[in-house]
Amino acid sequence: MNNINVFSQKLAEFPIIAILRGVKPGEIKDVCSVLDNGGFTLAEVPLNSPDALESIRVMSAQFNQGGRLMIGAGTVLSEEDAVNAAEAGARYIISPDSNPLVIRKTKELGLVSIPGFMTPTEGFSAIRAGADYLKCFPCGKLGSGHIKDLKAVIKKPIFAVGGVSASNLAEFLSIADGVGIGSELYKPGKSIAEIKAAVQAFVTSFATCKKR
């Protein structure tokens, strides 16, 4: 099964990407085991994390051949970044911007492309370059209403990233096709117990969303 099909299945199962910004290779197994055991299906390591490619290699070795988590790379800003992430085992590429070169390289590599955008112009440029999904970032201050307005003209699935919490998850998922969660789940210095509690909060919140 190709990466886009696997990703879409993972997204349908649990539409939250865990953004592990700042994670280190020495803690990645423990952090991802908490996510995997809690029910998360998607996790990314931003490339501006310490030794990010090594963390992706460790995650890929542990989870890509079995287990629930599908591993991706974030903050991918260049074609070289995309190639390096793919070689480390990332199966989807997320960026804060809509760089056509990165999008095209991602698709050449057979990976899922999720560039960042804020306006219709950026969104349509990303779609023309071959993006599979779009990441509305940052959307916290603009709220779910901004995504609703964008979806009036943009028909690609949209992730909401920035400002999403367990308390407003239902609001965003009523409009967006998925969300990305960073410091609410993980940030450097957070204990495994704290990460477990955060994971459970999001799992519980999502369960409530499904009942509505």
Specify the CATH number for the domain of residue 146.
3.20.20.70
pLDDT at site 112: 98
Residue 99 structure tokens: 């760089």
Question: Which entry of 105, 107, 135, 151 is annotated as an active-site residue?
Answer: 135
Q: pTM for the full model?
A: 0.95
Tally of structural domains, the chain: 1
Name the stretches of the chain with pLDDT < 50. none
Could you please report the per-residue DSSP string of 105-161?
HHHHTT-EEE-EESSHHHHHHHHHHT-SSEEE-S-TTT-HHHHHHHHTT--S-EEEE
Question: Which entry of 44, 105, 107, 151 is annotated as an active-site residue?
Answer: 44
pLDDT at site 45: 98
Query: Is 79 annotated in the active site?
Result: no
Q: Domain containing 194: what range? A: 3-211
pLDDT at site 212: 55
Query: Is 135 annotated in the active site?
Result: yes
